[in-house]
């Protein structure tokens, strides 16, 4: 009995020593010191505050930008120049000076999704697993009235390159109404807009696609202000903007577009 009590007392003493060491020796303390935890919490809080401040600043800048320009400004400009906010390029923009076309998610009327532009990645491998065109004409329409402007470019372009397998044509309609972006309404709209491909029998495919949601920052990158006009971009296989047009096409501008596309197809 005496021997059992002695073992119990030794065990209690060992436990007491361990507890003392854990509470007084910082080298073997299992939990971080209080000041470390405090600093970690403060650091996390500061990052959160910084992110919030950046977001607030960003949204304020956007609000001021949108308040400075509205529908009536677009209408006023449209009456002045008919959507021709600038003349199209006369020559192909050199690749070294060309800027990238920002990525945008699009959806076909049958529900298929894609991302534009379709380009080669840095290693020269097609990241999207789709055929990468040597040249793409991307036509942007933000309001229904600009569709006629887009047609003035896309139809002659299609007729010229309908036999080319190296060219793609995309007509992108942007829909930013919150109501039309709701999934049930979106599905109904896509079903209504579904149509057979105009170029099914030709080498060149005319892709009619839609992009739903907020496109403010996409427009910001392309410096698009007037939403009532059409915007036309000729892209190379790396997604760089090599030529640009606006509004209704003029004959000399169409000639420039066709010529620049042919030059682009000959680039190596």
The residue to which tokens 């009619």 are assigned: 208
pLDDT band at 267 (very low <50, low <70, confident <90, very high): confident
Prediction pTM value? 0.72
Cα distances (Å, whole numbers) of residue 208 to 171, 173, 175: 5, 8, 13
The residue to which tokens 């309001």 are assigned: 143
Packing angle of the helix pair 251-266, 147-161 (nearest 10 deg): 50
| Residue 243 bridge partners (DSSP) | 234
Q: How far apart are CA 187 and CA 47, in angstroms?
A: 40
Note the residue count of the chain.
268
**pLDDT, average across residues 137-156:** 94
Q: What is the CA radius of gyration of the chain?
A: 30
Give the pLDDT score at 62: 67
Among 138, 148, 98, residue whose Cα is nearest residue 118: 138
Least confident of 65-74, 121-130, 174-183: 121-130
Among 265, 241, 225, residue whose Cα is nearest residue 97: 241
Q: How far apart are CA 54 and CA 49, in angstroms?
A: 9
Residues 235-252: pLDDT tens digits? 999 999 999 999 999 999
First to last CA, the chain: 96
Residues 8-44: pLDDT tens digits? 444 444 444 444 433 444 444 444 444 444 444 444 4
Is the Cβ–Cβ distance between 242 and 256 less than 8 Å?
no
pLDDT band at 188 (very low <50, low <70, confident <90, very high): confident
63, burial (CB in 10 Å: exposed 0-12, middle 13-18, buried 19+): exposed
Locate the DSSP E strands across 10-158. 104-108, 113-116, 135-141
* Whether pLDDT at 233 is above 80: yes
Give the pLDDT score at 39: 43
Share of the chain above pLDDT 90, in %: 43
Q: Between these two residues, 77 and 226, which has the higher pLDDT value?
A: 226
DSSP secondary structure code for residue 104 in this structure? E
Q: Where are the domains of the chain?
A: 42-72, 82-266
Residues 74-118: pLDDT tens digits? 788 778 888 888 889 999 999 999 999 999 999 998 889 999 998
pLDDT band at 190 (very low <50, low <70, confident <90, very high): confident
Q: Between these two residues, 54 and 262, which has the higher pLDDT value?
A: 262
Among 140, 159, 106, 143, residue whose Cα is nearest residue 234: 140
Give the pLDDT score at 66: 63
Give the pLDDT score at 82: 83
Question: Reduced to 3 states, what is the DSSP secondary structure of residue 101?
Answer: coil
The token duo for 217 is 């920052």
Class assignment of domain 82-266?
alpha beta
């Amino acid at each position: 009995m005496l021997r059992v009590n002695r073992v119990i007392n030794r065990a209690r003493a060992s436990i007491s020593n361990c507890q003392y060491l854990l509470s007084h020796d910082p080298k073997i303390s299992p939990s971080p010191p209080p000041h470390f935890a405090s600093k970690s919490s403060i650091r996390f809080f500061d990052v959160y505050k910084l992110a919030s401040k950046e977001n607030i600043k960003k949204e304020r800048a956007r609000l001021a930008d949108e308040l400075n320009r509205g529908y009536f400004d677009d209408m006023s400009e449209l009456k002045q120049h008919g959507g021709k906010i600038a003349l199209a390029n006369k020559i192909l923009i050199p690749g070294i000076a060309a800027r990238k076309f920002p990525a945008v998610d699009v959806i076909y009327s049958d529900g298929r999704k894609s991302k534009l532009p379709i380009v080669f990645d840095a290693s020269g491998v097609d990241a999207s697993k789709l055929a990468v065109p040597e040249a793409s004409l991307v036509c942007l329409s933000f309001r229904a009235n600009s569709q006629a402007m887009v047609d003035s470019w896309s139809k002659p372009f299609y007729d010229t390159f309908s036999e080319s397998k190296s060219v793609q044509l995309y007509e992108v309609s942007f829909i930013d109404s919150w109501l039309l972006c709701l999934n049930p309404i979106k599905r109904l709209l896509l079903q209504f807009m579904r149509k057979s491909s105009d170029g099914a029998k030709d080498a060149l495919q005319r892709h009619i696609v839609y992009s739903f949601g907020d496109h403010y920052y996409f427009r910001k990158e392309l410096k698009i202000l007037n939403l009532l006009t059409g915007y036309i971009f000729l892209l190379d296989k790396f997604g760089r903007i090599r030529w640009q047009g606006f509004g209704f096409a003029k004959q000399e501008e169409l000639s420039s577009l066709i010529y620049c596309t042919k030059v682009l197809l000959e680039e190596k």
